[in-house]
Amino acid sequence: MSKYFDEKAVEWDADDRRRRLSSAIGSSILKHIPLDEQMVVLDFGAGTGLISAYIAPRVKKIVATDTSEAMLARLTAKQELRGKVEAVCVDITSTPLGSNFDLVVSAMAMHHVPDTVKLIRSFADHLKPGGMLALADLDTEDGSFHPEEAAGVFHHGFDRKELQVFLEICGFGDIRFFTAHTVIKDETQYPVFLVTATRNQSQ
């Protein structure tokens, strides 16, 4: 999967649909998450930093993780992210960072991870008690969203009620869903949700 995204990295930011989606998700995070300049944030599946770019001006630091070196190279080349975003090429589900964050964000990355519960548990492990989570991904779709050559697509979106159960199992509360954007491809609508949650203090 990393090879696929390495090959896509050069042209990633040039896609108008992707830029509109990132803008909508970034704006939704800013609307629903109370950011402040003392926060340290983990951006999971950060890619070229399209979401980090929205958050960086309002927080202290972002640690951007991805398994594609080429994607992160594009991120670190962006002048506006230098000094604010640290890029780490790692899969946090198998190699934890050993740090706790105030906020974990992720946009359109969950469907590339086979075990959703394991991923959410990893998010919880990387959050301080009371830390927040903001995840954006597709609502359940019929498999037509991604092209056939797309690599590492393990889920055709997510059912909101099922995802809420997963979040509760992993120690999250105050779970809220919002529709951040609707992607239109070939006259088909694909809603994209943002779910916010808080890690329980007792976890």
| Residue 51 contacts residue 25 (beta carbons within 8 Å) | yes
Q: Is a pLDDT exceeding 70 seen at residue 179?
A: yes
* Mean model confidence pLDDT for the chain: 92
Rounded to whole angstroms, the Cα distance separating 184 from 191 reads 9
Give the pLDDT band of residue 6 (cuts 50, 70, 90). very low
- Give the amino acid at 90: V
Six-digit token string for 184: 């239109």
- Express each pLDDT in 140-155 by its tens digit: 999 999 887 777 899 9
**Per-residue confidence (pLDDT) for residue 13, from 0 to 100:** 59
pLDDT in tens, 38-92: 999 999 999 999 999 999 999 999 999 999 999 999 999 999 999 999 999 999 9
Determine contact, residues 107/51, Cβ cutoff 8 Å. Answer: yes
Whether the per-residue pLDDT at 203 is higher than 70: the answer is: no
Domains, the chain, ordered by start: 2-199 (3.40.50.150)
35 φ/ψ angles, rounded to the nearest 5 degrees: -85, 150
Lowest mean pLDDT among 4-8, 16-20, 27-31, 43-47: 4-8
With a cut of 50, say whether residue 98 has pLDDT above it.
yes
Q: Tokens 């929205």 label which residue?
A: 54
